[in-house]
Chain A
Amino acid sequence: MTAKLVENAAGRLVPDEVNGRASIPFQGVGNYRPRGCKAAPPLVSCADYPADGNKVLSDLEAALRAAGLRDGMTVSTHHHFRNGDLVGNAVFEAAARIGVKDLRWFPSASFPCHAPQIDHMESGLIHHIEGSMNGPLGDYCTAGKMRGLGVLRSHGGRYQAVQDGEVHIDIAVIAAPTADPFGNANGLTGPSACGLLGFALADSQYADKVIVVTDNLIPFPCHPWQIQGNNVDHVVLMDKIGEPEKIISGTTQLTKSPDRLLIAEMTARFVRDTGIMRDGFSFQAGAGGTALAFAIYLKEMMIKAGVKARFIRGGSTQHLVQMLEEGLTHYILDGQTFDLEGVRSMREHPNHVDTSPFTSYNYHGKGNFASMIDAVVLGATEVDVNFNANVVTHSDGRLMHGIGGWQNCLFSRCTILPIPSFRDRIPVIVERVTTLCGPGELVDVVVTERGIAINPRRSDLMDAARGTGLPLRSIEELKAEVERICGGAPQTPALGEKVVAVVKWVDGTVLDSVRQVIE
């Protein structure tokens, strides 16, 4: 396998082949239009399934055997429990007992709790991971120890890859807080309730075999059926599938930092003072302490101005739930519940609606929700003077975050990145991002503690912000100030030649490469 590096439309060198499959370099935003038909799972016949609807098997190992687990297969799991997931590890422990090798793990995201997968990569059970990697898995990958290339996709990009056949899932294992023996499942109830199961939707529709794992097996029917039993092969009862209290991982805690609060407040003022905040508007604020604080400041401003949103896109938190319950928004369209209040609200409130990467982000959809949002507030590890943004690597080249829905959200009417201008002498406003995840043409506003930079492409926003008293500055000015404080421009970290992972764009093309970090 000798992949060639080619320069893509963003000027980044990317391999023309990823894990043995030809890949297409990024061609520019909105320029790539693949042809053909959507992928499909094999035909099945209901005659082959129990007429009484009981698909329960004794344990995961039995289910994986029944699903025909073999060497080299692709196995998927999901991150509805974020850092509290117990099923991702359990699947591969069971696979290890069966004694297969060279599996491809295709999680919707991985977290530090999945560190045991490193042993499985060392033993040969897992060949490589295609999904976000951070913490110990990110270090393992960037050190160049993984056999295959890491493939980082957005939530929408994962749906796209499944739907156009770029990734064929052999076996999907879906952790479901409540399920019936037929395989109908949801995340709303049960001791491990996590809200919704949207990240598993594509897998349930397109995988060859689907296993539902639950710790709350109830008699048929389990309703609402977020996952339909008609797509499910086997059902397994486990003691515990996840720790919902750990859903609130690092990225979902409200910030106490006065600087971050300042950034959050300036972001809310920007949304208000440029007229984005008006009756019937919509917004999305992702995970991360600053985004959460933004929502709280905006809420106060909405109350003061008597403004009501049409919908808010979640990641829902207690703060968004309060806004729904206090009549500040008609709907929450939720992709992921970030805390237990979000779970409760989704269960109880008819206007707290579950969504999936299909409705919100999918490139192969006939449109999606992401481009219909007035303002979206996202994090980033770096932004450069061309407004290109990085969300997956640290400035030293290490993988530290997944893409999540981030790339997909860039298509909103106004994409705002509230970020500190530097962190402990690590500049965030830089000359050129280490890893390109978001092309600058889609990033509209950068809000730092030292001022707000509007992308010059958005003269409409420039006009709207003029005279508001907001501290507007050019991105070059911000960068110059950061470099003054940090003692000059940073030297470029010495990275290896070896490509260890690729970042996919929402259409499946390759946007950038992640290089090996040399110790």
Chain B
Amino acid sequence: MNPTATAGRKGPDVRSDCWVQIQARESGGLEIRLQSKVASMYGDSIRRTAEETLGGLGLEHAAVDLVDSGAVPFVIMARIEAAARRAGLYEGPGVLPAMDPCCTYGTTRERFRRSRLYLPGNESKFMLSAGLHQPDGIILDLEDSVAPAEKDAARLLVRNALCQVDFYGAERMVRINQLPLGLDDLEAVAPCNVHVVLIPKCESRKQVKAVDRRCRELLEAAGKPEDEIFLMPIIESAKGAIKAYKIAKASPRVIALAVGLEDYTADIGTQRTLEGRESFWARCQVVNAARAAGVSPIDTVFSDVGDMEGLRESVLEARALGFDGKGCIHPRQIRVIHEAMAPGSKELERAKTIVTAFNKAEAQGLGVVSLGSKMIDPPVVKRALRSVRLAVAGGQLEENWLEAEAGSSRGGDGK
């Protein structure tokens, strides 16, 4: 019996995916049999993609069946490669699509991470438009949203997506599997301009260091030694919560510390409630550990996509506790999060006053910022600057509000 394997999905409900079966042969070249609902428009293109991918994988003799439900080329490539690997016909570094220029933008340590949208790593249909909804970050998830039997296929799909999908400026994140499997995930994705790797169920600084080290090795091997991959460990257990500060300090690449409450509540032997008293300590612990380490504390996912009011309250609470961001699983949650993360109108007015005073002090070369007779402490200035930045990012405030206000007051002087 010749080696045979399949990958991908087919069926009436499947969209944007491609089912592939590869059956190795001793001779006779490649026979590609295609069924596609877009055959009249992209039949030639699909065959070309298949031939090039199979060629890249070094397959010369095989029967290849493709049942396509409107998959774009990088998906077809990932499915063919997954089937070839499963059949034991290929073991190399893979056949990657070209890195599109839209995938090469960078990130910064300081950027907002108010919202991060989880996308199941083995589902291509959500990927193409996710960035249009303007989350601060998009997480291609290889962990809990992927069935154990599909981990290998998801890894290739995520890798190819990182080379081809425009996320329109969102931070490019990947949640790898728990170690040690997660280290293998890194091998596929690290060279593909991942901005942030999320480390699930993180319980020790050793784990963070292992991920950090592997990332650096892989970047060096890829000829990008000056690149950095930021890390966001997720605290999801009692042990992790206890070690939160050490985890946050484990590497200079850690930029944020997240908390995951589904696993955490199970780990401490209770259930998650809407009120969240059971996780109050852990959330405060993560906020304090993160702040102490100088990184951003990020709250858990709000998973009821129908409950926008609940989401809003949950974000307001997270913000009040000190968190900078919230996880979400549906694009419609993004705006609610951004609105709730934005400063209130009173807070914003005060922040604007402080920032104006701060600018004036700077212009005059004064070391001390004061409002009337009152001196403003540096942390208050820092918070005000952040509030104003948040308001600009959330569309509450024009980007040039300072000039606009200065302009209007000048206009007033002239009368």
A residues lining the B interface (CB < 8 Å): 258-259, 261-262, 395-397, 423-427, 449-450, 484-488, 490-491, 493-494
Contacts and interface: CB of A to CB of B under 8 A. Distances in A.
A289 to B, nearest CB: 15
Contacts, number: 60
A258 B37 contact: no
A467 B128 CA distance: 28
A370 B73 CA distance: 43
Contact of A396 (B41, B132, B330): B41
Interface string B7-26: 00000000110000000000
B70 A488 contact: no
Given A426-B41, A487-B72, A491-B44, A258 B16 contact: no
A518 to B, nearest CB: 9
Sorted from nearest, which 9 A-B pairs have the closest CB atoms?
Answer: A424-B70, A490-B41, A493-B40, A258-B331, A487-B73, A425-B70, A396-B40, A259-B129, A425-B38
7 contacts: A259-B129, A395-B41, A424-B69, A427-B41, A487-B42, A487-B49, A491-B40
Nearest to B126: A258
B72 A490 contact: no
B100 interface: yes
B49 A426 contact: no
Given A258-B332, A449-B129, A485-B128, A425 B40 contact: no
Given A262-B132, A450-B132, A426 B72 contact: no
Contacts of A261: 332
Given A259-B129, A424-B70, A485-B128, A490 B332 contact: no
A487 B46 CA distance: 9
Interface of B: 15-16, 37-38, 40-45, 49, 69-73, 100, 128-129, 132-133, 166, 330-332
Contacts of A397: 40
B72 A486 contact: yes
Contacts of A488: 45
A487 B45 contact: yes
Contacts of B100: 484
Nearest to B97: A487
Given A449-B132, A487-B49, A487-B72, A424 B37 contact: yes
Nearest to A495: B40
Given A258-B332, A259-B129, A425 B43 contact: no
A258 B38 CA distance: 23
Contacts of B41: 395-396, 425-427, 490-491, 493
A424 B129 CA distance: 12
Contacts of A491: 40-45
Nearest to A421: B129
A494 B71 contact: no
A262 B331 CA distance: 10
Most B-side CB within 10 Å, residue of A258, A261, A491? A258
A61 B214 CA distance: 82
Given A262-B132, A424-B16, 12 more contacts: A258-B331, A259-B129, A396-B41, A424-B37, A424-B69, A426-B70, A427-B41, A449-B132, A485-B72, A486-B72, A490-B42, A494-B40
A240 B14 CA distance: 38
A259 B127 CA distance: 12
B331 A486 contact: no
A491 B41 CA distance: 5
A375 B106 CA distance: 41
A166 to B, nearest CB: 34
Nearest to A398: B40
A340 B71 CA distance: 39
Contacts of A493: 40-41
Most A-side CB within 10 Å, residue of B69, B129, B166? B129
Contact of A486 (B15, B42, B69, B129): B42
A436 B359 CA distance: 60
Nearest to B38: A425
A395 B70 CA distance: 13
Contacts of A259: 129, 132
A262 to B, nearest CB: 6
Contacts of B70: 423-426
Nearest to A451: B132
A490 B69 CA distance: 16
B129 to A, nearest CB: 5
Contacts of B71: 425
A455 B331 CA distance: 30
Contacts of A262: 132-133, 331
Contacts of A490: 38, 41-42
Nearest to B132: A449
A467 to B, nearest CB: 12
B304 to A, nearest CB: 15
Contacts of A424: 15-16, 37-38, 69-70
B149 to A, nearest CB: 25
A487 B68 CA distance: 14
A490 B41 CA distance: 5
Given A261-B332, A484-B100, A487-B73, A426 B38 contact: yes
Contacts of B129: 258-259, 449
Nearest to B165: A485
Nearest to B331: A258
Contacts of B40: 396-397, 491, 493-494
A259 B133 CA distance: 8
Nearest to B40: A493
A491 B40 CA distance: 7
B85 to A, nearest CB: 23
